[in-house]
Chain A
């Protein structure tokens, strides 16, 4: 089905109000779900809501692609910007919206069996799904809004909901509580930094609309308050995006939260923060400003490289599979930052493409782990011994996504690393290409250890025979795993999204 046919078949209300509905629908349904006494009904409504959001994201993408300017501007309450709040959607936002809602939909479908088994207190299920919908609404809001302060509000909505969801992991593992608390402290720190930065910008420019700020900044580049604001915003959003070394909240939060939360967060939360970072780096501020240029080559690129090397090393030495993947996530954020820090269209496109592909692989990997947690109750690498035989479908999907994480040809991970390599070469950063290859080599180790245990070691408990995850987990898992293969061969769709997104961010007339 093509985007045109979606647009022609879409109802009028969807066409007219898609940008706001995509955020408003989950947000308004959340309190409804919270008061539902029945967990299964809450789940069904959440799935439906996520499906509606996904549909609206597709419509939005179609609208953006068919719009002559490539920008959809939605004025909230008919107050025109810069006074009113504006939802501003271009190719970059549309890509993030599609990613968040798509993963959100698949994750919510898959959530029921694992949540039902991990949350012993059935009365909390409605609350849990309300938190999930709020978190998704917040993330979608961040990815839609064109107002800097509004972005902070949505960031806090999503973060608060996330803290709640992480803490609910305490019913399985008590360490979820300190992890959630730590995340709360760090996340609040990041959000505060961000709002401080916005305060400085507001002081200098007198406006909160991002496009408006961008218009006024060129005259103010030497202003100290603009530079201070820039620094606070970069650090605040960097913390949210798990930029090394501000990532320390992430491994614990991913390891101890309920499996479903890990799947959703790993594929969306850091991605949305990274989107906000890209938005500020390229649309609000401009790479031409000397202070920004310096921080590209002296802050973002070194931190990205440090992340992809150091965190890959850390991943190699972890004993818990979820922590391996959590550290690998930080390393992958390093790749994205490295691409973005090139500040060229191919570089940003490569970063965005890796963002997209990484959501596919980590989504699949954590889903497979969720299935294993449900059926075999263990997440250390030793627990994975022999699982290739007892749960072949789950582990095969895990292996496919793992190969994609390494970047084996014919998988999505290869395409994005290749694009990153091209972009680095074009700038003459061949040494960085070597480091990318080296870090991929480390990925062979940390993924290989798990696969080796799963497929080549005998099961620790031979009596635990064939025990596959339920179908509700397997189907979304395999959709993501096959997407990893499909986008590794026919990469035109994500590549087009990433290139359009890079053009939208950098404001270039044409790619290259």
Chain B
């Protein structure tokens, strides 16, 4: 048995503390040991932690904080976060940057701590810490664009936190508790606030721009770290608080579909990955919305969790491979890349494995995870015609994923027209991290051919392991559906490419909905500024005259030389005493 204090040590807190300490450690070797070692220790702590127990609580201001509570739902999210953190640390070994090392570790730690929060207040606190720590990762790229992107990112993340705080205040006011109970309906105003706060972090449609804005501008390592935590933390929040909300089905379905169009025409490959991140989160959100009770619910929550787990790893793998390309060639623009398979064979291989996983090819991790979601939607579809539409949308989106992540990324970066770039293979630590991620993608996706491997291991970690163990992903029907889809989509890509109909890799800027607030809004501000510049002097002169007069009035009344302080010695004071005495007497006599 572990000693009690060790059992109560939240692995996330450990990572935050070590991360902050790492900021001040000038020795690179020490930091390397810490950044790689801490996630391993944290995983060990988590695996040994008992479930369904409040391991660390505190009371302050009438609120009981539950800092560390593990159960079957947050276990898998926390484990995925920790694995991602380990991969990131290995991936970052070639750099020598205390701020990046420390903040990456602290950010991961905050996400882990937030997922193990046992009450809304704790969730809020670590929610804000993820925002604050992650912004440094965007800032780390050091470019002017990254600076402005990081400020926009920070504003939106903090906004999400503030809305969450509003929501939890409502919950506190109306329910008198801050426990992490699932909401029943939107009739509770707190539920709406919290829904919006989570929605911002999960990058719901029209709230998604911060993601495409900031992630591609982050540094090589920064993008990999960022891709893992924030959105999946929001997914966890939805799974915890809003399971079975119908609104989520449609929001999720739309989320899966609309980024496809942007991703297909986008030129910056890391931005493509950002859009595909959006689309993947859509699958999870949709899964959480499906199913209200019973088998469907278990299937759907299992699907969301499994998808999140698999997704964190293959998305990290894809971002890593693009990061390696960026590191060696200095660009991720499709128009400037191509033909890199000659010089970066290993990176190419790992990128293709990541692409196959995200496209859910059978035998890769995406397949076993996505099958759960699709089955859950189909299960609901039996009784609800609307769900058939959703199912079709998800199917379309799956084809889209293959198109832009499974084919476009590897094709344009490593094959396609030869850019003539001849660079070195990625550094060994990058290859090692990618290799480990690729290994996990395959290990989780295989059927149980080799004992200890295969999808059963993943399924045994899910929130409803019993239901999961009876689920069969490798049925003829699943494989056939998926292969038809994949083959046809690949075929379509080849056809379009052949007849030069596929959007060519062109530099350019794609207008997303953030145009409205970044350009139209900025224009409005500029226009108002001009107007203000014209009217301003007149108005400010008026205001300053007014405020000067008010100030003079106040000063003449209250300053040491002013009216009230004048004659302040015993004479005046005694008269006041008499006045007050008279007033009290008068009051007493009148009232009796």
In the assembled complex, A178 has its CB within 8 A of some CB on chain B? yes
Binary flags per residue of B62-85, CB closer than 8 Å to A gives 1, else 0: 000000000000000000000000
Q: Which of B332-340, B355-363, B525-533, B555-563 contacts A (4 or more CB under 8 A)?
A: B555-563
Verify A290–B592 contact, CB threshold 8 A: yes
Q: Which residues of the partner chain B approach A314 to less than 8 Å between Cβ atoms?
A: 558-559, 562, 564-565
Size range of the chain A interface in the assembly: 35 or more
In the assembled complex, A316 has its CB within 8 A of some CB on chain B? yes
CB-CB nearest in chain A for B554: A313
In the assembled complex, B470 has its CB within 8 A of some CB on chain A? no
For B, the interface residue count at a CB cutoff of 8 angstroms equals: 30
Binary flags per residue of A235-255, CB closer than 8 Å to B gives 1, else 0: 100110000011011010000
Binary flags per residue of B528-562, CB closer than 8 Å to A gives 1, else 0: 00000000000000000000000000110111101
In the assembled complex, A230 has its CB within 8 A of some CB on chain B? yes
Verify A291–B591 contact, CB threshold 8 A: yes
Verify B587–A299 contact, CB threshold 8 A: yes
Q: Which of B3-11, B364-372, B460-468, B577-585 contacts A (4 or more CB under 8 A)?
A: B577-585
A238 and B587 in contact (CB under 8 A), knowing A182-B570, A185-B570?
Answer: no
Verify B588–A317 contact, CB threshold 8 A: no
Verify A248–B554 contact, CB threshold 8 A: no
Tell me which of B555, B573, B577 contacts A235 (CB under 8 A).
B577
For the complex, give the distance between the alpha carbons of A398 and B426 in Å.
Answer: 55
CB-CB nearest in chain A for B580: A235
Most A C-beta atoms less than 10 A away, residue of B558, B562, B568: B558
A189 and B577 in contact (CB under 8 A), knowing A291-B591, A299-B587, A310-B564?
Answer: yes
A490 and B558 in contact (CB under 8 A), knowing A182-B570, A231-B588, A299-B587?
Answer: no
Verify B554–A291 contact, CB threshold 8 A: no
Verify B584–A235 contact, CB threshold 8 A: yes
Q: Which residues of the partner chain A approach B499 to less than 8 Å between Cβ atoms?
A: none
In the assembled complex, A437 has its CB within 8 A of some CB on chain B? no
Verify B587–A228 contact, CB threshold 8 A: no
In the assembled complex, A83 has its CB within 8 A of some CB on chain B? no
For the complex, give the distance between the alpha carbons of A333 and B142 in Å.
Answer: 54
Q: Which residues of the partner chain B approach A185 to less than 8 Å between Cβ atoms?
A: 570, 574
Verify B569–A178 contact, CB threshold 8 A: yes
Q: Which residues of the partner chain A approach B420 to less than 8 Å between Cβ atoms?
A: none
A270-320 residues with Cβ-Cβ distance < 8 A to B are: 290-291, 293-295, 298-299, 303, 310, 313-314, 316-319
Kindly provide the distance from the CB of B280 to the nearest chain A CB, expressed in whole angstroms: 40
Verify B569–A182 contact, CB threshold 8 A: yes
For the complex, give the distance between the alpha carbons of A313 and B577 in Å.
Answer: 22
In the assembled complex, B449 has its CB within 8 A of some CB on chain A? no
In the assembled complex, B60 has its CB within 8 A of some CB on chain A? yes
Q: Which residues of the partner chain B approach A227 to less than 8 Å between Cβ atoms?
A: 585, 588-589, 592
Tell me which of B564, B565, B584 contacts A230 (CB under 8 A).
B584
For the complex, give the distance between the alpha carbons of A234 and B587 in Å.
Answer: 12
CB-CB nearest in chain A for B568: A248
Binary flags per residue of B372-383, CB closer than 8 Å to A gives 1, else 0: 000000000000
CB-CB nearest in chain A for B556: A317
CB-CB nearest in chain B for A315: B558
For the complex, give the distance between the alpha carbons of A298 and B554 in Å.
Answer: 26
CB-CB nearest in chain B for A226: B588
A207-262 residues with Cβ-Cβ distance < 8 A to B are: 221-222, 224, 227-228, 230-232, 234-235, 238-239, 245-246, 248-249, 251
In the assembled complex, B572 has its CB within 8 A of some CB on chain A? yes
Verify A222–B559 contact, CB threshold 8 A: no
Verify B581–A294 contact, CB threshold 8 A: no
In the assembled complex, B576 has its CB within 8 A of some CB on chain A? yes
A316 and B558 in contact (CB under 8 A), knowing A221-B592, A231-B584, A298-B587?
Answer: yes
In the assembled complex, A426 has its CB within 8 A of some CB on chain B? no
CB-CB nearest in chain B for A247: B573
Verify A245–B592 contact, CB threshold 8 A: no
A480-497 residues with Cβ-Cβ distance < 8 A to B are: 489-491
A489 and B573 in contact (CB under 8 A), knowing A290-B591, A294-B591?
Answer: no
Kindly provide the distance from the CB of B552 to the nearest chain A CB, expressed in whole angstroms: 11
Most B C-beta atoms less than 10 A away, residue of A232, A245, A290: A245
CB-CB nearest in chain A for B576: A245
Verify B60–A489 contact, CB threshold 8 A: yes
In the assembled complex, B1 has its CB within 8 A of some CB on chain A? no
Verify B569–A248 contact, CB threshold 8 A: yes
In the assembled complex, A88 has its CB within 8 A of some CB on chain B? no
In the assembled complex, B450 has its CB within 8 A of some CB on chain A? no
For the complex, give the distance between the alpha carbons of A353 and B413 in Å.
Answer: 68
For the complex, give the distance between the alpha carbons of A248 and B591 in Å.
Answer: 30
Q: Which residues of the partner chain A approach B569 to less than 8 Å between Cβ atoms?
A: 178, 182, 248
For the complex, give the distance between the alpha carbons of A32 and B512 in Å.
Answer: 85
For the complex, give the distance between the alpha carbons of A49 and B582 in Å.
Answer: 43
Q: Which residues of the partner chain A approach B585 to less than 8 Å between Cβ atoms?
A: 227-228, 231
Verify B584–A299 contact, CB threshold 8 A: yes
In the assembled complex, A323 has its CB within 8 A of some CB on chain B? yes
CB-CB nearest in chain A for B583: A299
CB-CB nearest in chain B for A178: B569
Kindly provide the distance from the CB of A410 to the nearest chain B CB, expressed in whole angstroms: 10
Kindly provide the distance from the CB of B591 to the nearest chain A CB, expressed in whole angstroms: 4
Tell me which of A178, A230, A310, A489 contacts B588 (CB under 8 A).
A230
Q: Which residues of the partner chain A approach B562 to less than 8 Å between Cβ atoms?
A: 314, 317
In the assembled complex, A193 has its CB within 8 A of some CB on chain B? yes
In the assembled complex, A186 has its CB within 8 A of some CB on chain B? yes
Verify B592–A317 contact, CB threshold 8 A: no
Tell me which of B557, B572, B574 contacts A313 (CB under 8 A).
B557
For the complex, give the distance between the alpha carbons of A251 and B569 in Å.
Answer: 11
For the complex, give the distance between the alpha carbons of A314 and B569 in Å.
Answer: 16
CB-CB nearest in chain B for A489: B60
For the complex, give the distance between the alpha carbons of A185 and B554 in Å.
Answer: 30
In the assembled complex, B476 has its CB within 8 A of some CB on chain A? no
Verify B581–A317 contact, CB threshold 8 A: no
In the assembled complex, B590 has its CB within 8 A of some CB on chain A? yes
For the complex, give the distance between the alpha carbons of A232 and B592 in Å.
Answer: 17
Q: Which residues of the partner chain A approach B587 to less than 8 Å between Cβ atoms?
A: 291, 294-295, 298-299
Kindly provide the distance from the CB of B264 to the nearest chain A CB, expressed in whole angstroms: 49
Kindly provide the distance from the CB of B246 to the nearest chain A CB, expressed in whole angstroms: 39
For the complex, give the distance between the alpha carbons of A291 and B587 in Å.
Answer: 7
Verify B570–A295 contact, CB threshold 8 A: no
For the complex, give the distance between the alpha carbons of A230 and B570 in Å.
Answer: 24
Q: Which residues of the partner chain B approach A238 to less than 8 Å between Cβ atoms?
A: 580
For the complex, give the distance between the alpha carbons of A319 and B581 in Å.
Answer: 33
CB-CB nearest in chain A for B567: A248
11 pairs from A and B in contact (CB 8 Å cutoff):
A182-B569, A185-B570, A189-B577, A230-B584, A246-B573, A246-B580, A248-B568, A291-B588, A294-B591, A314-B558, A323-B560
What would 17 more interface pairs be, CB under 8 Å, given A221-B592, A230-B584?
A: A185-B574, A227-B585, A227-B589, A227-B592, A245-B580, A246-B573, A246-B577, A294-B587, A294-B591, A298-B587, A299-B583, A310-B558, A317-B555, A317-B559, A317-B560, A318-B559, A489-B61
